[in-house]
Amino acid sequence: MEEKNHIYPIFDRMMTRQDKEELLGQHSVMIWFTGLSGSGKSTIAIALERELHKRGLLCRILDGDNIRSGINNNLGFSETDRVENIRRIAEVSKLFLDSGIITIAAFISPNNDIREMAANIIGKDDFLEVFVSTPLEECEKRDVKGLYAKARKGEIQNFTGISAPFEVPEHPALSLDTSKLTLEESVNRLLELVLPKVKCIK
Ligand SMILES: Nc1ncnc2c1ncn2[C@@H]1O[C@H](COP(=O)(O)OS(=O)(=O)O)[C@@H](OP(=O)(O)O)[C@H]1O
Ligand SMILES: Nc1ncnc2c1ncn2[C@@H]1O[C@H](COP(=O)(O)OP(=O)(O)O)[C@@H](O)[C@H]1O
């Protein structure tokens, strides 16, 4: 009768990222959207995931809805809190990448230091920075959540683009201005960039 508290030697290591990529038949990569609120980050992320899924590629989207209401629900929009928000998101993204999953983050991530921190945590070889460069005027016209109007009235402090800065990325892998590009055009440009990197390895 096997002893109940038998200690099993660790014969080998955990399954590696490569093991999991081979299992999934894909390379994982980090697609990091940055841009103002209402610029189109989440809309494009969802449409991109759908197109990649159609091609048999497994993805995971991280955005304000699933992160700031969950693991980061104790964080606000002070500079310190935004840094911590992005730090945690980058660490979680790394876990998904190590599992072979194409990971898509849709956060304002408002300056180069914060985005550089995320890239260093995740690994620059895996990190595709996509700037959703929709102008403030268009974002404010859309005002999807009515927050721009509140920010203008001073009812919300530190609102990016109004009372908090947004620093334009220096060398994004791709820029998408959704005031000029249709959703389909944005997704097609992303597919051109991403598909060669996640190519099926089966
Ligand atoms: N003060 C302030 N500044 C900016 N944004 C605010 C703020 N308060 C609430 N919101 C809503 O939160 C969303 C941005 O959260 P993020 O996690 O993407 O921001 S950051 O990366 O930590 O800067 C963003 O949602 P998205 O529209 O999805 O970008 C805002 O609608
Ligand atoms: N060409 C476009 N591409 C993406 N979104 C667009 C476009 N035209 C209008 N929109 C609208 O802009 C809004 C973008 O909101 P969202 O995707 O939540 O932005 P973010 O995630 O950057 O805050 C949505 O209501 C979307 O329908």
Give the pLDDT mean for 160-171: 98
Which residue in this structure is represented by tokens 């016209």?
A: 141
Q: What is the mean pLDDT of residues 121-148?
A: 98
> Is 69 annotated in the active site?
no
Q: Which residues contact 76 (CB under 8 A, 6 or more apart)?
A: none
Binding site membership of 167 for ligand 1 (Cβ less than 6 Å): no
The predicted complex's ipTM stands at: 0.98
Predicted local distance difference test score (pLDDT) of residue 2: 64
Between CA 115 and CA 113 the distance in angstroms is: 5
- Binding-site residue numbers for ATP are 35-42
pLDDT for the residue 11: 66
Please state the rounded mean pLDDT for residues 42-55. Answer: 98
Q: How confident is the model at residue 14 (pLDDT cuts 50, 70, 90)?
A: confident
Asked if 41 and 107 count as a contact pair (C-beta separation under 8 A), the reply is yes
Give residue 124 CA to ligand 2 midpoint distance, Å.
27
pLDDT at 202 over 70: no
| CATH number assigned to the domain covering 14-194 | 3.40.50.300
* pLDDT at residue 6, as a whole number: 82
Per-domain residue ranges for the chain? 14-194
What's the average model confidence in pLDDT over 147-168? 98
Which ligand 2 atom is the nearest neighbour of the CA of 185? Answer: 1
Q: Output the CA–CA distances (angstroms, integers) from residue 5 to 8, 10, 12, 51, 159, in the order listed.
A: 9, 15, 20, 48, 56
